[in-house]
Amino acid sequence: MQGAEFIKQMQHKVAVSAVPLSAVRAQGAGVLGASQNFLKRLRLAKIPRSEIAFRQWLNRQTYSLVDQLPVPYRPWGTARKVINLFLRDALYNKYLARAFKLNQLQRWLEIPLDGAVAKGLKQKAGRGNLPPWLGLKKLTRSESDPFQEYALLWAKEARTYRVHLDIFLWLENR
């Protein structure tokens, strides 16, 4: 297997491994399969190469996945988390990163939010500097933004990108 077929299979593999059952625990029946199927078909070659266009693309993909989730309450937070997990792991996969030039995107990638990451961000930010964490099912875009903004500030201070903060926060707070 070589070329385009190999990259297609690699994307499928990363879609499955980046979003294990534990990532969508208690999010509803069918969310895992729908998420993984969405991610394996995500057109990585079509990711825009400017920050504003990338943010718009990420928002469109999040709402597209929300529409495909087989649960009645349409959890925006769950959709955003799985897309961010996938993009992070695609960046970390040398074949996908090379094929789709994902290194260029790492400065715009978000930290995948969940309870463990939110806890770590809140601890680092200090009492009262981030909103209460109400859970992934209740997370909206406007509630996510302060966490992403703080992660961006912290990452700049640490001379890294916010997507990489997930490694430390998840390990420390799981």
25-37 residue pLDDT tens? 887 778 889 999 9
Domain ranges of the chain: 3-105, 115-173
Give counts: helices (H), strands (E), the chain. 8, 0
Nearest partner of 170 among 134, 127, 100, 117, judged by Cα: 117
Residue 127, phi-psi category: left (phi > 0), alpha (psi -120 to 50), beta (remainder) = beta
Q: Is the pLDDT of residue 174 over 70?
A: no
d(CA 28, CA 86): 19
* Four-residue CA torsion sign, 57, 58, 60, 65: positive
Query: Would the pTM count as exceeding 0.85?
Result: yes
